[in-house]
Amino acid sequence: MTQANNKTIQALQWTGNVLKVLDQRQLPETLVYDDYRDAAGVMEAIAGMRVRGAPAIGIAAAYGVALSVILHYAEDPAHWRQKVAADIDRLATSRPTAVNLFWALAEMKTLLTQPLTDPPAAFIARAEKIHADDIAANIKMGELGADLLTGAKGVMTHCNTGTLATGGYGTALGVIRSACQRQPVNVYAGETRPWLQGARLTVWELAQDGIPVTLLADSAAAWLMKSGAIDWVIVGADRIAANGDTANKIGTYSLAVLARQHGVKVMVVAPTSTIDWAIENGSRIEIEQRNQNELLPACYIKKGSLVSAWNPVFDITPAELISAIVTERGVVLNPAEQGMRGLQNDI
């Protein structure tokens, strides 16, 4: 089985009472970790894009709850549960689309109703398990996804779905890592505007692992596909509806439409914690709209400006444009035909 690279830079480091978060906004020029000791700080780190990627957001939130318990149990052993519950509610407001956030918070919240002899230890153990389980799931998905890539000459990925976006190893990037250990594969990464996760994070992360990668402008994807260089587009997910419709970084839908036009297959790679069983299709997935100032040049950010910006962070790729959805529980081929329900009994 493929092993995670222990030398790979980790997005999150837990020390026992401090969560160290790699500030991904400063990569690749500067590698700096910020220390967080309470839930409020973790919430700001998530909302402010210091930590990003659906699995990593969920893991960070779990550690945020553990920090809340450490703090409030020490201050007020009689009423700590109410204060932790309030912190969980606040953490849930940090990002609206990534379902892993709400899944992880629900996992942590179950402990609030249980009798605990050592609450801080119990919550820390649960957060550490969520973290470890994510790494194990990523490695499994890497193997399953690589099985589908046998004979592929070129793959393209979007946004960042590696160690920086997960507990370790990665989802879509984990598949690429596993595939590159088996056979030569040409890897292409789009810039991923407007935050440039592809240019700043993905190509940097692959280079750290010794994997050659070619960066291209997002707008060059169609021409690259037409050249015949790409066999698969491989992406992650922030939320998957029960029918297989998938929310992912803005621009994913465009790539899926282009892939269908050019006979390129699309693979979505995500743990089962990303599946929202309560949502039947993608029309019910809330799409986060971030501040227009993240997109606008400074000269347009002024009162009375005639220039505004539309800044959705995600889009929805319908299941009929997806060739395979890879989870740690198995692979769903042609999800438009069956949706995700076949996996539900295995969870």
Catalytic residue ranges: 238
Q: How far apart are CA 144 and CA 209, in angstroms?
A: 20
Q: How far apart are CA 16 and CA 22, in angstroms?
A: 17
Q: Are 262 and 226 in contact (CB under 8 A)?
A: yes
Instruction: Scan for tokens 């962070």, then name that residue.
Output: 313
Q: Which is nearest to 41 in space by CA: 90, 104, 95?
A: 90
Q: How far apart are CA 209 and CA 65, in angstroms?
A: 32
Q: Are 187 and 211 in contact (CB under 8 A)?
A: yes
Other residues' Cβ atoms within 10 Å of the Cβ of residue 218:
17
Q: How far apart are CA 199 and CA 181, in angstroms?
A: 23
Q: Are 266 and 235 in contact (CB under 8 A)?
A: yes
The string of DSSP codes covering 311-344 is -BSEEEE-GGG-SEEEETTEEEESHHHHTTHHHH
| CA dist 17 → 12, 23, 50, 116 (Å) | 13, 19, 19, 19
Q: How far apart are CA 155 and CA 56, in angstroms?
A: 24
* Residue 207 exposure: Cα atoms within 13 Å on the Cβ side: 12
Q: Which is nearest to 295 in space by CA: 318, 283, 312?
A: 312
φ, ψ at 79 (rounded to 5°)? -130, 25
Q: How far apart are CA 130 and CA 124, in angstroms?
A: 10
